[in-house]
Amino acid sequence: MQPKPPSVIAIYPGSFDPITNGHLDLIQRGAKLFDKLIVAILSNEGKQPLFSVEERVEMLHEVVRVYPNVEVDSFDGLLVDYAAAQSATVLLRGIRAISDYEYELQMALMNRRLQPGIETLFMMANEAYSFISSRLIKEVFGLGGNIGGLVPPSVEARLHRRLDKFTNRGA
């Protein structure tokens, strides 16, 4: 059995396109559990993101700078390889509803097979945010819906700027 490391480093991986208050809630709670929490943005994603990796790193920095033990980074390749390179022993993921479970179970089991020394820990999303996702935020915002209180104010401002840029293009 591996002894508990003197300092527990956890990775909170995801796309964060953009970060929502659900993600932020998990970061706040995770920051209390680990010596260091690295919020790691996947950079080689197949999906066409709304915000570039650099923009997402900036957005995350803006909202996590109040937590001294939280860092922001980006990674590509296998998550477990990145985690091992950071000497992390925990992968943190949030579960909002039963529908998240199957996907998360598959990833957790695959990651455990790849790197048995790294544990995936799940935290239940705050019920106030259990219905939100980055995808839904983008959809609702793009159609003119109110997303106030669902993303940090700095992220909402960026969404407005991004929408203005698209609206004014070619005008």
- Please identify every residue annotated as catalytic: 23, 47, 96, 134
Site for ligand PNS in 22-61 (CB under 6 A): 42
CB atoms within 10 A of CB 144: 7
The rounded distance, in Å, linking the Cα atoms of 15 and 41 is 5
Per-residue mark of binding to ligand PNS, 109-138 (x: CB under 6 A): -xx---------------------------
Residue from 107, 121, 123, 136 in contact with ligand PNS (CB under 6 A): 107
Q: What's the min distance (Å) between Cβ of 169 and ligand PNS?
A: 28
Q: Does 15 bind ligand PNS (CB under 6 A)?
A: yes
Among the listed ranges 11-19, 117-125, 139-147, 149-157, the one in contact with ligand PNS (CB under 6 A) is 11-19
SS3 label, residue 123: strand
